[in-house]
Structure 1
């Protein structure tokens, strides 16, 4: 069999396997023709149950890797079935092979009644297949008082959910007890103490500390093996935050003085790369930063004989250093040349998600489904779908507060919460007022991050918002971003490792413009304006 024939056969077999894997999902999908109009079944517009006679909804969700469906045993979810008379046929897919299965499902023209979790369908999936998803604005007004109140209290909930045509097709979430700060600076405190140094507060002090880490054997093994900083595939982008550059959405956009800015052509970016080159030239940045993968970096961070890494940016200091974790501490943001501190994150909190629920046009019971989803949008429902049910993972205290229970011995708290709940996925709304009732352990997990957040939350920069793009914009968007981002990454690597940014800057900007940068920036600006116009 020739190469083309074998390749063709592989594609056919792959598609057949995907169709087979989706068989149980598609078998539970409703026929669209019978579902385009609202159902005539009696339902209760207020109170419980939602319907007097039980109905079944086919609900698909995608989970990370091999997490499985243990979350369906969540007591709150089971009680919801009893109280509402809405039975759920959960269809749980793995993210490992969802990409191909999603394509087969969309091509088949049949979807389940409800999609939960933003791993399933992203913005472009929805915008390019709008006929499969119901506009939900009228359902929110008529049948979802909890969500409607949440959107009024927290307008960003409506902003991130409004598509370019002005309608809402997918529903948002506000997760509980999320920080404002994203990655924060983390340093080896044991090394500082041994060298009688203080945690750096500005770039000059950071340079002095990194140089001491390299030259003065802080791990005490007599070898010059200390690596002041290391990263995978790039420099540690947190270094640029001291120059006011943050990139929360990973799209090279930020907000400066209330206006969107494309930072790779800014003076701040240029000065930040000059600073990074100075560090690299003096051996303070790992020379393998641009070539190593995550496995290589992890081996350095968890080197069994002695700690090797001095400084990095992490979610929490205990995240990546294995047995050396207790040597590391989070510090306040490093002040930049202008004397100001900048912390990547979001002043509104890293709480918001979109595309967490979709009601498809195959759903025969959209009104009942809307009321069913609205049950998730209370504080108590939301925390039980983030950490686990009350009595299982959460203790409800006599004073009206809520505490997290300890996981079983040998189980990490985070893994336990994912096992017992929808966790990051699905509809939720925890208001700032309700959040005050949640008591977290400040020494670990979510509670530790909130404690560390106090170091930088007042310095958090305003990120470019979670905007949406039109069908026409998506048609040109990928081509522009792939080529432009690749060129920016390659020039960044060259300038950090070899220098020459001043001599080559004008040619670099010209080439970006020749590649269509202004067209890309216009797309970002138009999307930003649409977002800001949502009331």
Structure 2
């Protein structure tokens, strides 16, 4: 008779197998070939909903011809994969190759399931070249000296934060206001935006500042309201990493900004915005559809003065009348903080590189064919087409030895949400020698990043920022994950209430909050990240 523990494990495995009916079967020990005798390679791709089918991307047919193999593409959405990934790992159901599916930590925890690609670099000369030119990328995926999952690298123009403070320049000009440089300036601008009808429609419908909702599972995130921490001199890096947990570094010392007076100061400022009607009273809990609707209005009349976003596309498509009203500006300095001590989000490397773009099953039937496919994907020829679409379909044109132009045909496909490429989900890399003309995403994010050059210079990007390649060990990962679950289940509701209703100014509430953070092991998290920082930063 099975014990309850054993029965649960067996049941979980059966459930995992049932869930994975739509995914690729794992590689077998026996070689598999198609009717023409060509080796079969199964590739799972985690895709965005606005991307066309892999079979409709012409470059995939060329890839199949160049590798002299038969490729079977399996596609899954982000939401589906979020539900299925753990089951895939539990059941050992891993496709031959996997694009944007598993990260280095997944591979470290399931080491017998994945090929150590770092041992295959002699058969992956394009990857070897990638790591030599861009060593940060290799560091990013190296766990305990091993490389199992390969990273991606977009064009050098993406070496920019994905986080920017956007303001309606048309409104500023109409009201005769300058770009705010301090929180006091910001208060005056928000009051004017709220009361002086800058959109000219005769209605009091302007939202001076539209913060994005609070994430319920962590304290920071993409376009987080806590980008305002940079105003106080604490640098965030919200594209990814432990900054989303509140972790920051100052002169090599790791800490958590939820335990700082600066955090309290930012919360007070947001509540001031709500109290004065500068920010919506419900912003803390508003979901993305309503948040985006506020930003984009009717496509003609602006309703929002300021947001944190990627670039002006937060307000509409590139070149639209609404989007053209907005510019990015340096973050204004907090009360009592000098301009020289004000910083900006240091996510630039995390914007160019991602660490979970190619993994290979240890049980792949046709290993040599799989490695050939990987090497081709990491060539310039296929990296460019993964980003921008097929040469043969006219989405991107080769204009020189290492130069390319993205065409209007690709832009129209983007605007129609029928993107014929993987874009940032590519399993590939682009050398610094390559130039690309007409990549709107790259051009606009690079332009949006320019105003922060001075604020980037106000801190050391190794001593005052957690490098993207710093990793914590497996046992520590479990400890941090467990701590964070309890920590944020407690902290987020408290912080959310303070943001919308006030109370953080009450010393008794603040002190009780700090004591409870310690009870939920916030200090252990800091110690773990300090240990990792000391290990990787030499």
Partner of 2:261: 267
Q: What is the distance in 2 between the residues matched to 1:133 and 1:15?
A: 18
Match of 1:161 in 2: 141
- How many angstroms does 1:133 deviate by? 0.6
Residues 273-303 of structure 1, C-alpha deviation per residue, up to 9 Å, x if partnerless?
3333433333322211123222332333333
Q: Which of 158, 169, 172 pairs up with 2:151? A: 172
SS of residue matched to 1:412 = helix
2:251 alignment counterpart: 257
- After superposition, the C-alpha distances for 1:107-160 in whole angstroms (9 at most, x for unaligned) are 43332211122xx224553333221112222212x2222222221222211111
Report what 2:452 is aligned to.
456
Alignment of 1:365-380 (within 5 A): 365-380=366-381
Measure the CA separation in 2 of the matches of 1:161 and 1:20: 30
Give distance in 2, aligned partners of 1:324 and 1:115.
39
Among 403, 406, 423, the residue aligned to 2:405: 403
Classify 1:298/1:426 alpha carbon distance in 2 versus 1 (closer, same or farther; 3 Å).
closer
Does structure 1 retain, via aligned residues, the 8 Å contact 2:254–2:526? no
C-alpha deviation, 1:175, in angstroms: 1.2
* 2:165 aligned partner: 185
- Unaligned regions of 5+ residues in structure 2, if any? 1-11, 215-223
Structure 1 length-normalised TM? 0.82
> 1:266: Cα distance to partner?
2.2
Partners of 1:63 and 1:401 lie apart in 2 by 27
| Aligned residue number for residue 477 of structure 1 | 480
Q: How far is the alpha carbon of 1:458 from its aligned partner?
A: 4.7
Count of aligned pairs between the two proteins: 493
Deviations 1:336-386 (A, max 9, x none): 422134221335462101121111111133344334312233334322211
Alignment of 1:76-475 (within 5 A): 76-117=59-100, 120-140=101-121, 142-163=122-143, 165-176=144-155, 177-234=157-214, 236-245=225-234, 246-248=236-238, 249=240, 250-304=244-298, 306-321=301-316, 324-336=322-334, 337-340=337-340, 341-348=342-349, 350-391=351-392, 392-398=394-400, 401-407=403-409, 411-412=413-414, 415-416=417-418, 419-434=419-434, 437-440=435-438, 444-460=440-456, 462=461, 463-466=465-468, 467-475=470-478
Helix, strand or coil for the counterpart of 1:200?
Answer: coil
**Cα contact 2:383–2:426 (8 A) shared by 1:** no
TM-score by length of 2: 0.82
CA contact (8 A) 1:230 1:285 kept: yes
Cα deviation digits, residues 374-401 of structure 1 (max 9, x gap): 2233334322211112342111125753
Query: How many angstroms does 1:82 deviate by?
Result: 2.0
For 1:426 and 1:146, the matched residues in 2 are separated by 15
* 2: CA distance, partners of 1:109 / 1:13: 12
Alignment of 1:527 onto 2:532: yes
Over the residues paired in the alignment, what is the CA RMSD in angstroms? Answer: 3.2
In structure 2, relative to structure 1, the CA distance for the partners of 1:129 and 1:349 (3 Å cut) is closer
CA–CA distance in structure 1, aligned partners of residues 416 and 349 of structure 2:
24
